[in-house]
Amino acid sequence: MLNRLVGLETEYAIRFHPDHPHLDNLAHYQLYQALIQILSQRVTTVSASDLKEGVFLGPGGAIWFERVRFAGGSGLIEGSTPECRGPREAILYQRAQDLVLSEAARDANVPGVFALIKNDCDSQGHIYGAQENYEVPLATGWRMRLWRWGLYALFPTMLLAWLGHLLLFFGLLVYLLVAGILFLLLLPFLKDKWRKPVQAALLGEELSGRVAYSSPVPEWVEATALGYIRIAAGPLALGLYFLARLTCFHEIRRHLTPFLITRPIFAGVGFIDKTGAFQLSDKSWGMNCLLGYNGIVMDRPIYSIGHFFKTLMFRAWSSPREFARLLSPRQRLQICM
């Protein structure tokens, strides 16, 4: 039963208090960079080539910067354990990860007090936190055959999503060109105090030179682009959802769901809500579905298929091997409670 690969993912909230009241808060992305700088001095790290910025650790596991959005540089720090043989080994790596990250944050070269918070929700009601990952059989019999043929049938929607991304890329290049020309035309008429704000509104924080958030466009452009991506990927997301609902981990979900729903009664850490009442689970109140993408369309599921979607949406076009792995009878079951 326990002879399977197990892994844990934890998202740490970021807390920073400047040394002096007149100092501005650093962007979360800058704090992440300071954390990695200290971390790389203490353990071997290798840059990770993935959809988000991160590093692999020599002792095992990885550290990522989980962006809320590129513009503004806000986000969370995510740590993932290596693939472990059982829960005891996973907990061992998890505790080591907590210790290494907390010490690196404490010793980071930043003008203030930098700490990481390990919880599942913040004071504003945003839910994040931990995910459990288990290697289990995805399906058997006709469900497995339906899963494989369904993936092939989704290929036209994958092409549509990829084409949408390509058009978005060229659209952003055209926007930056037009915005740059517009700013140059307005420049002679702008007073000195208005130049930086107008430049930031048109070209974003990074290109305006305010701070290196690693975002070349302003927030309103990124928000528009995210809406466009959701529309372009809509057919793929919808098709994959119904396919996964019929096939993925069907028997496991049916037997495991009652246990997961009642688990917070005897194992939940709990939290104090805004009214001062104690809640058994600090995450379950935000759950709104059993199966979903975990935030892509404002869904908060117990079982996430977001990793399948990311493979079809982003990784499969550059590596057919990633698509082939989805055909394997054993896949990752991700639990988001």
Distance in angstroms (rounded) separating the CA atoms of residues 196 and 215: 16
Q: Which residues contact 178 (CB under 8 A, 6 or more apart)?
A: none
Instruction: Verify that 9 and 79 share a domain, yes or no.
Output: yes
Assigned domain for 91 exists = yes
> Do 114 and 12 belong together in one domain?
yes
- Out of 203, 232, 261, a domain closes at 232
Same domain as 271, residue 318: yes
Residues 223, 260, single domain; the answer is no
Read off the DSSP letter of residue 20: S
Domain count, the chain: 3
Count how many Cα atoms sit within 13 Å of the Cα of residue 136 in the half-sphere of its side chain. Answer: 19
Indicate if 228 and 270 belong to the same structural domain. no
| Shared domain check, 110 and 53 | yes
End-to-end Cα, the chain, rounded Å? 21
Co-location of 220 and 259 in the same domain: no
How many C-alpha atoms does 238 have within 13 Å on its Cβ side?
A: 8
**DSSP code for 188:** G
Query: Is residue 6 in a domain?
Result: yes
**Coil, strand, or helix at residue 7?**
strand
Same domain as 194, residue 256: no
Q: Is residue 242 part of a domain?
A: no
Q: Is position 45 within any domain?
A: yes
* Residue at a domain's end among 232, 259, 283: 232
Residue span of the structural domain in which 27 resides: 1-118
Q: Both 54 and 108 in a single domain?
A: yes
**Domain assignment present for 145:** no
Q: Please classify residue 107 by burial: count the beta carbons closer than 10 Å to its beta carbon, then call 0-12 exposed, 13-18 middle and 19+ buried.
A: middle
The last residue of one of the domains, among 232, 257, 274, is 232
Same structural domain for residues 6 and 82? yes
Q: CA–CA separation, 10 vs 13, rounded Å? A: 10
Is 284 within the bounds of a domain?
yes
Instruction: From first to last of the 337 residues of the chain, give the pLDDT tens digit.
Output: 456 789 999 989 899 988 887 777 788 888 999 999 999 999 999 988 766 789 999 888 999 998 877 666 778 899 999 999 888 899 999 999 999 999 999 999 999 899 998 877 766 666 767 889 999 999 999 999 999 999 999 999 999 999 999 999 999 899 989 988 998 898 888 887 888 878 877 877 665 444 555 566 788 888 888 889 889 999 999 999 999 999 999 999 999 999 998 888 888 777 777 788 887 877 777 788 899 998 777 788 999 999 999 999 988 888 889 999 999 999 999 998 7
Q: Domain of 55: which CATH number?
A: 3.30.310
Q: Does residue 278 share a domain with residue 175?
A: no
Establish if 138 belongs to a structural domain.
no
Please tell me whether residues 190 and 264 are part of one structural domain: no
